[in-house]
Amino acid sequence: MSYDVTVIGSGPGGYIAAIRAAQLGFKTAIIEKEDNLGGVCLNWGCIPTKSLLRVSEIYRLIKRSEEFGIKVQGVSFDIKSIIEYSRNVVNKLSSGVEYLMQKNNITVHRGCAKLAGNHNIKVADNDEILSEHIIIATGVRARNLPGIKVDGHLVWNAQHAMIPDKLPKSLLIIGSGAIGIEFASFYNALNVDVTIVEIKDTILPLEDKEISILAQEIFTKQGITIHTNNSIKNLIQKKDSVEVQFSNDKIIEFDRVIVAVGVHPNTDNIGLEHTKIKLSSLGFIETNKWYETHEANTYAIGDVAGPPCLAHKASHEAVICIEKIANKAPHHLQRECIPNCIYSYPQIASIGLTEEQAKTAGHDIKIGRSYANFNGKSIALGETEGLVKTIIDRKSGEILGAHMIGAEVTELINSFALVKQLEGTDLDIKSTIFPHPTVSEMIHESTLAAIIKMT
């Protein structure tokens, strides 16, 4: 079989690359080693976690229903049915990707792909594919910690944590990035006793410090135990529990443990040795800004090409990569225009520079803040914990960064992505009419606060 474009991996990088290639007239194939198309994001990442978090949101609201004048006599849940809900969402979307492949005449090959050099790929040690362009979109997998065996029974990775047999009474989450924090919110809502351990001095170490600290306060109020500046010294897997010794020598027993300490690129066993492809010191595939590797006509996009490991970054790179191949003169991806979302309760979203980064970069900044407990819609929703923080270059008015915590913020951060893409300033946001009453008014208020107070 021979193709113009062959994509290895059908995650949000790969399947978007395949669709865009097909749209632009290339004869296109995609190779997937798993049964379901869609990659980790769709099958074991963004989508199932968001489904689980939706259930926990509803369960939280039911527990609070009396505040709203609603009486519920007895509420219970069945973890199997909750998981079933999330798996049904996954299956619906995975079939959707399957349908899109058919609709766009993209050939799907099942099996492990191995680059064989000279435009060749072997699939499942069997089929041979000849392809003018090869796009590697093999993604990443969960990173393990030395000395901790992820057995799927007592010690879970994210995938195990999405499909528990039964709920643990107590749960330790190692790592407080997006994945760790989302599971903390989910299990906390379902009345599990959740502890987070983070080696850095705040949780969510990639976020603006003010947001991280506020998040930590809110999570602690919700009953989540948080240990920062702390890590695991020793971990003993007993029969039905785990004994954990922390770096401060404290020993605590937990029912289950989730390891959520980052990712490792999937570059092994894909035949890189038959190419000139180079890896970075962290093991990601090196590319230029058009996603070309050191091997001719071979490209890498998405997580395997380096962080931030985000589905929308992968999809965006896919489009740029294909349009460049098609000589469509695409724009470059601007790293500071990639939004980031965490679907915890409350939600967290951000884009661009943190306050610290902006200062380190030498910007003279002004900062605006808007708090949810002054926002009409947030009060009406009964969700009064939240902050929108806008970091603005004092001279140019450029929006350097925006950092949000609170209700709906994952649906609001795109506004700042648009402003940054359009090179809008604080005054442009000031002149924009935001509808009332919405949480989105906090974008306006936060920016106005920076303009008026010049903090």
What single letter denotes the amino acid at residue 302?
G
Distance CA 244, CA 242 (A): 6
Segment interacting with a copy of itself, rule: CB under 8 A, options 173-181, 239-247, 291-299, 337-345 = 337-345
Per-position x/- string for 355-374, each x denoting binding to a copy of itself as judged by CB under 8 A, each - no binding: -------------------x
Between residues 224 and 409, which has the closer beta carbon with respect to a copy of itself? 409
Distance of CA 35 to the CA centre of its chain: 23
172 binds a copy of itself, rule: CB under 8 A? no
176 is annotated as contributing to ligand binding:
yes
User: Cα-atom radius of gyration of the chain, to the nearest Å?
Assistant: 23
Distance CA 172, CA 178 (A): 15
92 binds a copy of itself, rule: CB under 8 A? yes
Between residues 83 and 106, which has the closer beta carbon with respect to a copy of itself? 83
164 binds a copy of itself, rule: CB under 8 A? no
Q: Where are the alpha helices (DSSP H) in 330-375?
A: 355-360
Distance, first Cα to last Cα, the chain: 63
Distance CA 204, CA 354 (A): 12
74 binds a copy of itself, rule: CB under 8 A? yes
Element (H, E) at 253: strand 251-254
Distance CA 125, CA 188 (A): 45
420 is annotated as contributing to ligand binding:
no
Distance CA 103, CA 387 (A): 43
Residues 425-444 contacting a copy of itself, CB under 8 A: 428-429, 431-441, 443
Residues 103-122 contacting a copy of itself, CB under 8 A: none
Q: Return the SS3 of 137.
A: coil
50 is annotated as contributing to ligand binding:
yes
Residue from 25, 35, 71, 329 in contact with a copy of itself (CB under 8 A): 71
Distance CA 216, CA 166 (A): 27
Distance of CA 396 to the CA centre of its chain: 31
Instruction: Please report how close the Cβ of residue 420 comes to a copy of itself at its closest, in angstroms.
Output: 8
Distance CA 226, CA 195 (A): 6
Residue from 339, 368, 386, 406 in contact with a copy of itself (CB under 8 A): 339
Per-position x/- string for 255-274, each x denoting binding to a copy of itself as judged by CB under 8 A, each - no binding: --------------------
Residue from 1, 36, 85, 292 in contact with a copy of itself (CB under 8 A): 85
Q: Residue 408's closest CA among 357, 343, 355, 351?
A: 343
For residue 297, is it left (φ>0), alpha (ψ between -120 and 50) or beta? left
451 binds a copy of itself, rule: CB under 8 A? no
313 binds a copy of itself, rule: CB under 8 A? yes
411 binds a copy of itself, rule: CB under 8 A? yes
Q: Return the SS3 of 374.
A: helix
Distance CA 244, CA 172 (A): 9
Residue with tokens 């939280």: 60
Per-position x/- string for 193-232, each x denoting binding to a copy of itself as judged by CB under 8 A, each - no binding: ----------------------------------------
Per-position x/- string for 238-257, each x denoting binding to a copy of itself as judged by CB under 8 A, each - no binding: --------------------
Segment interacting with a copy of itself, rule: CB under 8 A, options 61-69, 138-146, 228-236, 385-393 = 61-69
Residue from 83, 181, 353, 388 in contact with a copy of itself (CB under 8 A): 83
311 binds a copy of itself, rule: CB under 8 A? yes
87 binds a copy of itself, rule: CB under 8 A? no
Residues 4-33 contacting a copy of itself, CB under 8 A: 12, 23
180 is annotated as contributing to ligand binding:
yes
Between residues 365 and 413, which has the closer beta carbon with respect to a copy of itself? 413
Estimate the crossing angle of helix 46-63 against helix 79-103, to 10 degrees.
140
Q: Examine the residue annotation and report whether 436 is marked as an active-site residue of this protein.
A: yes
Binding residues for a copy of itself, how many (CB under 8 A)?
88
381 binds a copy of itself, rule: CB under 8 A? yes
Residues 6+ apart with CB under 8 A from 278: 285, 286, 293, 294
In this structure, what token pair is assigned to residue 250? 């404290």
Catalytic residues: 436
Q: Which residues are annotated as a binding site for NAD(+)?
A: 175-182, 198, 262
